């Protein structure tokens, strides 16, 4: 009995000593973790700065039993609160975390590596509870307490960005008639890197003009390319309207026109506009493999069916490349001297 009593007292002494040791450890902590992500700086910032996205990637929100409440500046979950204090475009986001285990000030910093990769860093410092200090003691420090959750959160960000920004598909819809359209347009030329920004500005100006003049839009916005190469485009930014051309009075910066229906290969790109070149390349290759011929005097058009800055992988773009009808081959009928016309399959 005495030995058991001594062991119990020794255990109490060690437990008290451990309690004192942990209690005297600093209440403050500093943490930092970084990861290289296969998305550019702008995409990472746009996604992380949107607090509504946090439920998809931030580990503390995974599997929460209570309702998550999110607005533009707060995330509330299980009695805890994250508050965004400030964000600096394409650079960093500052916020506080009020948690049962610690209160901290935090910054997410995003640095560009190249146009396809960026580095995301999470800096966190604050005050911890005794429970958290005890957990840190068992795991060898606060870095080890937080590291696995932050690393998994970074991996979740990368996976979500893949779905939102990078995933895409190209569908060759086949040869069909592009219907006639009456439109109002702005002529422009720009580098390929500035094209999307410039055409959006033009389409916005056209939309405001059409609304002001009380005209009726008759379809999706589109671009007619006058010339295309790897460095630059000459094009018309167009919005289709229901109107007689002579009845439309336009600004000096605009033009109006109409094209008749024509035969074209239709290709659909679902995904970011950054994959546009791949879609054009596949479309042209399919024409080369067919009996159709590209009509270089015709109209090369992109139609913008859906655009989303928040989720570019859901964008839908239709590409129309003008073609001429397939060559008709005359072959004699069997057991007949009379020729017959046969048209070979298109693709």
Mean per-residue pLDDT of the chain:
83
* SS3 per residue for 248-285: CCCCCCCEEEEECCEEEEEEEEECCHHHHHHHHHHHHH
Q: Which residue has the tokens 């011929």?
A: 293
Q: In this predicted structure, what is the pLDDT of residue 304?
A: 97
Q: What is the DSSP string of 290-329?
A: SS-EE-TTS-EEEEEEE--SS-GGG-EEEEEEEEEPPPPE
pTM exceeds cut of 0.85? no
pLDDT tens track for 293-344: 999 999 999 999 999 987 889 999 999 999 998 766 655 554 433 333 333 3
Cα dist from 131 to 2, 23, 147, whole Å: 34, 10, 17
Cα dist from 59 to 150, 151, 338, whole Å: 8, 9, 76
pLDDT tens track for 84-134: 999 998 899 999 988 766 778 889 999 999 888 999 999 988 766 555 555
């Amino acid at each position: 009995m005495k030995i058991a009593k001594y062991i119990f007292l020794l255990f109490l002494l060690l437990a008290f000593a451990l309690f004192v040791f942990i209690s005297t450890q600093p209440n403050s902590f500093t943490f930092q973790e970084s990861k290289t992500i296969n998305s550019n700086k702008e995409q990472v910032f746009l996604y992380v700065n949107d607090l509504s996205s946090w439920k998809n990637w931030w580990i503390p929100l995974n599997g929460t039993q209570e309702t998550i409440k999110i607005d533009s500046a707060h995330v509330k979950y299980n009695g805890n609160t994250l508050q965004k204090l400030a964000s600096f475009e394409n650079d960093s986001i500052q916020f506080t975390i009020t948690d049962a285990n610690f209160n901290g000030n935090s910054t997410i910093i995003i640095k560009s590596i190249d146009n396809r990769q960026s580095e995301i860093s999470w800096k966190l410092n604050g005050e911890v509870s005794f429970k958290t200090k005890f957990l840190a003691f068992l795991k060898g420090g606060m870095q080890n307490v937080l590291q696995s959750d932050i690393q998994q959160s970074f991996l979740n960000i990368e996976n979500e960005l893949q779905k939102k920004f990078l995933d895409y598909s190209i569908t060759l819809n086949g040869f069909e008639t592009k219907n006639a359209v009456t439109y109002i347009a702005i002529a422009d030329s720009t580098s390929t890197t500035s094209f999307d920004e410039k055409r959006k500005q033009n389409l916005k100006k056209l939309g405001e003009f059409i609304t002001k003049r009380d005209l009726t839009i008759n379809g999706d916005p589109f671009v007619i390319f006058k010339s295309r190469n790897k460095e630059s485009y000459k094009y018309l930014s167009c919005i289709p309207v229901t109107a007689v051309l002579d009845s439309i009075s336009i600004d000096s910066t605009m033009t109006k026109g109409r094209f008749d229906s024509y035969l074209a290969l239709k290709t659909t790109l679902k995904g970011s506009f950054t994959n546009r070149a791949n879609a054009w390349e596949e479309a042209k290759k399919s024409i080369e493999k067919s009996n159709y011929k590209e009509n270089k005097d015709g109209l090369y058009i992109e139609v913008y069916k859906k655009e989303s800055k928040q989720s570019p992988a859901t964008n839908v773009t239709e590409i129309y490349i003008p073609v001429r009808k397939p060559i008709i081959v005359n072959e004699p009928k069997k057991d007949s001297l009379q020729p017959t016309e046969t048209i070979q399959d298109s693709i």
